[in-house]
Structure 1
Amino acid sequence: MTGNLDTARAFFEACETGQGWGACQPYCHPDAGFSAQSGAIAEITTLAAYADWMQGLLTMLTDGSYDLTAFAEDPERATVAACAVFTGTHNGADGPVAATGLQARSDYAYVMKFKDGKISHMTKIWNDGWALKQLGWA
């Protein structure tokens, strides 16, 4: 693995296990951007805010986990892509509604852009409507 792949993997694991920005920050530029065309997270514009959103999500989906299905680097574009399936049951803290006991199984991808060995921007590709419906939130 290259340095970018190692960094992306460490960031991905910290983010997806709900460790928040404190654990994700060493792998990212302090002002790293974030974007997604998903209603639930469309207003999030920094990677710091997204990492903290994931931390909060895992207080509601306490059994949340991921199955990594692909992880690849495009060195020419200084980009790493991670594809996974997230699974979680709303059995923890109340979220948009009281705990439903319902489970979501949701495909998603991260596209992480690198600058000087750290993530400078990440785009999440995710059908949030599908996941929210599975959880009984929509």
Structure 2
Amino acid sequence: MSNLETAKAFFEACETGRGWEACRPHCKPDASFSAQAGALADVRTLEQYTEWMKGILTVLTDGKYELHAFAEDREREQVCAFATFIGTHKAGGPVPPTGKTTRTDYVYAMRFQDGKIGHMTKVWNDGYALKELGWA
């Protein structure tokens, strides 16, 4: 499987909330994660992030994504995905359900090592999303 195919399989599993169990085959066991977003400040591994996504989809129960671009930089062994996440707060969460919806853009930059994702950076304005949802 090419890096691009692996990244697409990972992206689909992660963004549909299937958690680490479904994402693990596409990642190094110790894959790291980073984001300059307060909501993800304590998330340091890709395993933690995929479980966070699984959890957020129990709160934003209609959560889905619109994929805008997927690109591979073979020289640097990087694959980037640009998408918009759409979800309405209908259950659970940090406050009672607000019924508010977010449409929040984000980018995944996935760095590959030996055909698997070794690190992923998420570029996301969490403050904007949290405000739209009525959480901030």
TM bucket by the smaller chain? Answer: over 0.9
Report the TM-score, using the length of structure 2 for normalisation: 0.99
The residue aligned with 2:131 is: 133
The residue aligned with 2:100 is: 102
Runs of 4+ in 1 over 6 A off after TM superposition: none
**Matched position secondary structure for 1:131:** helix
Report the TM-score, using the length of structure 1 for normalisation: 0.97
The residue aligned with 2:78 is: 79
Instruction: State the Cα deviation string for residues 58-82 of structure 1 (Å, max 9, x = none).
Output: 0000000000001000000000000
Instruction: State the Cα deviation string for residues 97-122 of structure 1 (Å, max 9, x = none).
Output: 01110000000000000000000000
Once residues 74 and 42 of structure 1 are traced to their aligned partners in structure 2, the CA distance between those partners, rounded to angstroms, is 27
Q: CA deviation at 1:42?
A: 1.7
Q: CA deviation at 1:43?
A: 1.4
Matching of residue 57 in structure 1 with residue 56 in structure 2: yes
The residue aligned with 2:28 is: 29
Once residues 82 and 102 of structure 2 are traced to their aligned partners in structure 1, the CA distance between those partners, rounded to angstroms, is 16
When you count helix as a share of all residues, which structure comes out higher?
Answer: 1
Give ranges in structure 2 of 5+ residues lacking alignment.
none
Once residues 52 and 110 of structure 1 are traced to their aligned partners in structure 2, the CA distance between those partners, rounded to angstroms, is 16
Once residues 124 and 30 of structure 1 are traced to their aligned partners in structure 2, the CA distance between those partners, rounded to angstroms, is 19
How many positions carry a matched residue from both structures? 136
Within 5 A, what are the aligned runs for 1:110-129? 110-129=108-127
Matching of residue 7 in structure 1 with residue 6 in structure 2: yes
Amino-acid identity (%): 64
Counterpart of 1:36 in structure 2: which amino acid?
A: A
